[in-house]
Structure 1
Amino acid sequence: MNLLSVENISKSFGELVLFKDLSFGINQGQKIALIAKNGTGKTSILNI
């Protein structure tokens, strides 16, 4: 069972594209982690 389904989201600041056409799903009971370098858009994904 999908608790969250995200399809084709994009985020940019001016000409700087953080992510484009991002899609993912989170299932019930699933644990996830966002791991990446600083400034790559992890917090922006959560804020959307």
Structure 2
Amino acid sequence: MSVINVFSAENLSKRYGERLLFEDLTFGLSLGQKTALVAKNGTGKTTLLNGICGIEP
């Protein structure tokens, strides 16, 4: 059975001024895969999702 990729991102980085939220983030999602985004408050989870949706530049 082959894997069907529905989304992939490579080398994502985001910072606010001097504060680096994430750097060189690469991941992919496959059809039927369940994924959780878990991290401490203020680490960029919402910023990452907003960037993927085109809300955050």
- TM exceeding 0.5: yes
Structure 2: unaligned runs, 5 residues or longer: 52-57
Paired residues in the alignment total 48
Q: Which has the higher strand share?
A: 1
Q: Percent identity?
A: 60
Aligned residue type for 1:29: G
Runs of 4 or more above 6 Å deviation:
none
1:11-22 correspondence to structure 2 within 5 Å: 11-22=14-25
How high is the TM-score relative to the length of structure 2? 0.81
**What value does the CA root-mean-square deviation take over the aligned residues?**
0.5
SS at match of 2:39: coil
How high is the TM-score relative to the length of structure 1? 0.96
Q: Which is bigger in relative contact order (C-alpha 8 A, separation at least 6)?
A: 1
| Structure 2 Cα separation of the partners of residues 14 and 29 of structure 1 | 37
